[in-house]
């Protein structure tokens, strides 16, 4: 089975711009979660989508948004980028049937640099 894929792998943007990241889950997985990973804060949960609906949400500002399509693929959008948004953004998928405690299968991440 193919793993979780994320595109693009690297991005450089400037402050004030917006960015869209994409995630394709493992085939058959219906839950997609997004995380931000930085050296200072570690791995922080952004949100989880299941069956095209946001099911859980972390403590991030409204500039961070996401959506999920009928084929379970997901996108994450960050508007009005700030320098502090520079991070590795990880997507993880799971079957979604048992909630957030299910094993998460992570993609390789998208490394975003905001200048």
- Where does this chain bind another protein (CB under 8 A)? 4, 35, 41-45, 56, 90, 92, 99-101, 103-109
Which of 84, 108 has the CB closer to another protein? 108
CB atoms within 10 A of CB 35: 21
The residue among 8 and 16 lying less far from another protein, judged by its C-beta, is 8
Nearer to another protein, 11 or 17 (CB): 11
Q: Are 50 and 38 in contact (CB under 8 A)?
A: no
Minimum separation from the CB atom of position 37 to another protein (A): 9
d(CA 45, CA 60): 9
């Amino acid at each position: 089975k193919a793993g979780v894929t994320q595109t693009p792998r690297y991005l450089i943007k400037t402050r004030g711009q917006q960015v869209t990241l994409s995630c394709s889950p493992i085939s058959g997985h219906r839950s997609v979660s997004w995380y931000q990973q930085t050296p200072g804060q570690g791995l922080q949960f952004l949100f989880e989508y299941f069956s095209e609906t946001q099911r859980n949400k972390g403590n991030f500002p409204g500039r961070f948004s996401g959506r999920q399509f009928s084929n379970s693929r997901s996108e994450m959008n960050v508007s009005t980028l700030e320098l502090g948004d520079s991070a590795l953004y990880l997507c993880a998928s799971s079957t979604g049937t048992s909630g957030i405690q299910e094993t998460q299968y992570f993609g390789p991440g998208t490394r975003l640099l905001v200048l």
